[in-house]
A = this chain, B = another copy of it.
């Protein structure tokens, strides 16, 4: 009785201890019917005594090379947009018994591929991905080999798969119309990496709305490739330092909005601001935003994946989640000069 076993007892050990077959133990452990009450009790007692824990690895391994696990790849778990997607997915997967294996690509396409490969090797049952890449051939391969994939936020350019995205065009149109309606004509835009599909869609909608309003020179006030807070701050400063600076600025995601706020907070007469993505303290700071539900994106993506895992082989579905402008003081307090 000295020394404690560091090995976890197996189903076989429980079988020996309780004097029944492995199959019977298996039945009890899995709550199947057709087991005598006293047999079950004996098995349960032995299992408890030994500290038996079923080995999910073994179970899933033999079940046919597929685990009760879903992979989630985003740019950065700590970005609230992504972490809320993760939460939404996790909640939707909880009931059906799936766990989330999540990984961050740091928005690096090469790393993203590595992560996808790892997850596939771990035989996740499905993959949710906010892709930072603009070539998805490698993912098409995985799909063909049987791993369903749902693209979130950014639609793949070269594969027709299930997607869950925001109504980017509508959101940007709302932002521009809102500002135009308040008299702004010189509206600047600070955007993310131009290789991302969301960026394209948002800038395009921006241009369309501006052009429709007769502002053909909108391109002059568009700045892209702001991938972190500092770059966003720099772009905003740069825009404001031009000959005739914008009276209003639109940012295309929560990171950029934060970077912009760091600059605008120091100005006596800051330009109006509308940010894509809502964020926790937007109400306290009075920032007008294009709001939406990242949790819903994760949840809808998870549901879609579950349907595919369940055998649904219908044509790809493209979910478009609504967005809405929430007007706050950053765009309503001061009229355009």
Residues of chain A touching chain B, judged by Cβ–Cβ distance below 8 Å, are 4-8, 51, 53-58, 60-61, 65, 67, 69, 76-78, 80, 83-84, 86-87, 90, 99-104, 117-123, 141, 144-146, 258, 261-262, 265, 280-281, 283-285, 295
Contacts and interface: CB of A to CB of B under 8 A. Distances in A.
Given A78-B84, A101-B100, A145-B8, A61 B53 contact: no
B86 A77 contact: yes
Contacts of A56: 118, 121-123
Given A8-B65, A65-B8, A117 B284 contact: no
Given A53-B120, A83-B83, A87-B78, A4 B283 contact: no
B51 A55 contact: no
A101 B67 CA distance: 13
Nearest to A84: B78
Contacts of A60: 57
8 smallest beta-carbon distances between A and B, as pairs = A78-B87, A83-B83, A56-B121, A6-B146, A56-B122, A61-B61, A78-B83, A57-B61
A83 B86 CA distance: 10
Contact of A76 (B8, B87, B122, B141): B87
Contacts of A280: 258
A57 B100 CA distance: 16
Contact of A145 (B6, B77, B80, B262): B6
A8 B147 CA distance: 10
Nearest to A50: B145
Contacts of A5: 145
Nearest to A67: B57
A295 B262 CA distance: 22
Nearest to A55: B65
Contacts of A141: 51
